[in-house]
Structure 1
């Protein structure tokens, strides 16, 4: 298969070999990081007040092994049992995940904002026997634990690893004054007591993973569920580690001589942050600054001020919001060498405004939960706005028609991919697995086009295309056009029924000021789009609903504004 994009690769990338990536399982990676980086800072939890706590790579391994002993020797879990982790970004997330891996068990990351029915579904579908949950959302388990197979609930706190007196004071403020820590009826133990019990118990940690192979499942990572009930992608140790390695090969030229300082804004329970920030950070020795919640955006201010952030990854809505934050001055970003964007389409308008403001380009990538994160990424040597870049090393990517045949360069079709990072399938979903994985290729459901250099532009999701007078119209293209306008903060486009054209285009816009009018939007669209793509209906709204990864919730947009 012709791969024109390899001209942008280093020699190691051109000769991609999984044997070169070192650790092949999560447990091996934890051991490697502890030996290689020792007492260097690995994870820091930073609160909106600027209060923070830090754990080293060596300490992370020590705590993970204590948790592994607790799971195997005290809770009596077996190899490949499932442990769910439901928490915001904090040190406890890293300790729990690495501890689960060292116990030879399987993790499943749960969105802490899930409703009770969503939580119940994932716990039952994954077969979770233990739930590690942050105390901020502890009352959610009260509603569902009796409907699941969960036998033990472990609570953790944002304040894990804070010094004793500071932890006591901050805990009192959170519990008694701000009242953000609810009471729990469900019987539970704290992570602190679980770790103490693990440290007091004798256990042969190395024996827990003796039979764990790189291709064994490490993680049941659930999809966002925007098209229905979420499905659990079975991701192996090797596939997640391979994706981190692929991203590393694409960004090596941007790495500094000292350890990177990465501001972790995206939630670690999402595959992008998990594989490409947390796991990648263990590989490279990066210091990850964990932000429990980026809302309000002022929560990020002290993190940028206290740390010389060199890398951070966001989503389109985050960059758009930062552009209008008065505190987000250019000097706060003076150490940043890499800004990544994924999870949802990065509009060209926002990317241009961002680069003009802070002089750091946004490098967009594209991927899916089902491929462990990223399948394409813009190389630093030729970053093209509007494109999701080229296939990462080790990946084959094709654009095909409905029959699975390659389409000519420059023509649209479904994007499919093949490589070492693909999921094994969906847990408990053989039919969905067979539909997504065909002859070793992952069918993404995304419509895209590839140019002669191998750069890919994602046009839209198959299901989101709008049929206007027989013509396919991609909402993303219209959103891209409108986003270039000064004063546009966010935009979402959907189709609606129309007697004349079958469907018509509706645009819902969040604006920074009233300089953006219905007339000015139409003028911009008419200048850059074919007539049938110009929105027939334009409304200005307070917000456009998006998933936590920044994808526009088109169904909710329709229901709210179109009925």
Structure 2
């Protein structure tokens, strides 16, 4: 059967039309939804949007926890030709206000527990005319279920080109205002055809659990496009993914695929409940992205859980992972090799390709690149250059073809005229049994020369160690693991590290 280019037709209608309507699509702690149920609910949402006057190519912002309502709102909007804009629920309210104003959203779907805090921001939006509350809505509010009831359970997806903008994702805004990144319908299937199919080998009997939320490009693929491509199921966790909550979800739903970020894997390893399978006897792959995975964390996880972590790198601009380790061929400490369908270059400051073993900025070419940024012409031109997308990440390609992460281009610094990768020093630090997390920045000494400074979170078992003793232990450890000139001249023990709402360390705040 031929489908139009609207991604809804392939990801939702196809399964019902081919007899998979009763298969489980999504489950959260309280509810579940089959593919037939998803199709009907999406159709209701799409037609209710039309009746409410939210027209094609208009924006609906989703400020939602990971429940079964999220995919209904996202795919229902696509079905109607309306552009869903998932928003990080942990963003400061002023950034949420910026996104609402910048996108000129006409409608918002918001989870009830988030409404009170965001209400003043919503009231200040001149373009916003429809607020729909997912969960327990108040008497003067439009509840999600009531909104769906006003729609029709069967509706055709609007005809769309695969190259038509389908949805936006805002960048994390770690060093400035968030950028609205515009993605097309065809890119959703592109992430499945490349990474999910050819690296993970995902199948219809897989059960997915992503601790990374759907509002993030990584989580959107993990929890929606990957399982939905094959008629599989996804488990959703609306709450904060603490180690206890994650392990309880693993034990209850027994997923086969688990997606997390390096910080979470480190925290899980420190939890007393971690062990073989991490609570799921069916677990076959663990995946990490968001930041590079320290070698020591991967090795400890493999030993404790018995399943390797496939570390990869993706971006909001490329939608999902484009460099990854492979099942059965994991090289901890590297990001692996290019995902099928993607090409990579490492270039110097003059955009000339560098030799293996030399560092430079990673550029990527592939089928899932965004169309550009909304109303950010100059930044679009700097990032999207023809078929190539600049990542802003510094990498080295090793002789065997594996790519090793060195850090963000603006995080690199020189010591005695030699480039130092913060990530390399951080990896050395977390390989020591006393350190749970670490961040490294360049810091001037009394002569104004830049040297490494480390901020570390200690393991509970190390809290009693004398600071001077700890410093000497870690200094010698880094010298041995990373190089004599790379050791931190200062080590500050902290309770937490500044991070974006998606978990990336904000090193620029530590340099202040």
TM-score by length of 2: 0.93
C-alpha displacement at 1:546, in angstroms?
Answer: 2.3
Q: What per-residue deviation string (whole Å, max 9, x for no partner) do you get for residues 390-436 of structure 1?
A: 11111111011111111112211110011211111100000000011
After TM superposition, which residue ranges in structure 1, 4 or more long, deviate above 4 angstroms? Answer: none
Give structure 2 stretches of 5+ with no counterpart.
none
2:432 maps to 1:449: no
Q: What per-residue deviation string (whole Å, max 9, x for no partner) do you get for residues 360-395 of structure 1?
A: 110001011001111111121311111111111111
Change (3 A) 1:398 1:23: farther
C-alpha displacement at 1:548, in angstroms?
Answer: 3.5
2:487 aligned residue: 534
SS class of match (1:226): coil
C-alpha displacement at 1:555, in angstroms?
Answer: 2.6
Is the deviation greater in 526-535 or in 477-486?
Answer: 526-535
C-alpha displacement at 1:550, in angstroms?
Answer: 2.6
2:13 maps to 1:31: yes
1:270 aligned residue: 216
SS class of match (1:381): coil
C-alpha displacement at 1:276, in angstroms?
Answer: 3.4
2:193 aligned residue: 245
Q: 2:35 aligns with which of 33, 57, 70?
A: 57
SS class of match (1:369): coil
Is the CA contact (8 Å cut-off) linking 2:28 and 2:238 kept in structure 1?
Answer: yes
| Residues in 1 aligned to 2:6 and 2:442: alpha-carbon distance in whole angstroms | 45
CA RMSD of the aligned region, Å? 2.1
2:96 aligned residue: 119
| Residues in 1 aligned to 2:456 and 2:225: alpha-carbon distance in whole angstroms | 36
C-alpha displacement at 1:295, in angstroms?
Answer: 4.1
C-alpha displacement at 1:485, in angstroms?
Answer: 1.3
2:496 aligned residue: 543
2:114 aligned residue: 137
SS class of match (1:199): coil
C-alpha displacement at 1:23, in angstroms?
Answer: 8.0
C-alpha displacement at 1:501, in angstroms?
Answer: 5.4
C-alpha displacement at 1:335, in angstroms?
Answer: 1.6
1:13-412 superposed matches below 5 A: 24-28=5-9, 29-36=11-18, 37-46=20-29, 52-72=30-50, 74-148=51-125, 149-157=127-135, 188-199=141-152, 205-206=155-156, 209-210=158-159, 212-253=160-201, 255=202, 259-330=205-276, 332-412=279-359
C-alpha displacement at 1:451, in angstroms?
Answer: 2.5
Give structure 1 stretches of 5+ with no counterpart.
1-18, 47-51, 158-170, 172-180
Q: 1:418 aligns with which of 361, 365, 372?
A: 365
Is the CA contact (8 Å cut-off) linking 2:214 and 2:220 kept in structure 1?
Answer: yes
Is the CA contact (8 Å cut-off) linking 1:116 and 1:143 kept in structure 2?
Answer: no
Is the CA contact (8 Å cut-off) linking 1:244 and 1:276 kept in structure 2?
Answer: no
| Residues in 2 aligned to 1:294 and 1:33: alpha-carbon distance in whole angstroms | 31
2:435 aligned residue: 488
SS class of match (1:317): helix
| Residues in 2 aligned to 1:418 and 1:96: alpha-carbon distance in whole angstroms | 31
SS class of match (2:363): strand
1:435-514 superposed matches below 5 A: 435-500=382-447, 502-512=449-459, 513-514=461-462
TM-score by length of 1: 0.85
Is the deviation greater in 384-393 or in 310-319?
Answer: 384-393
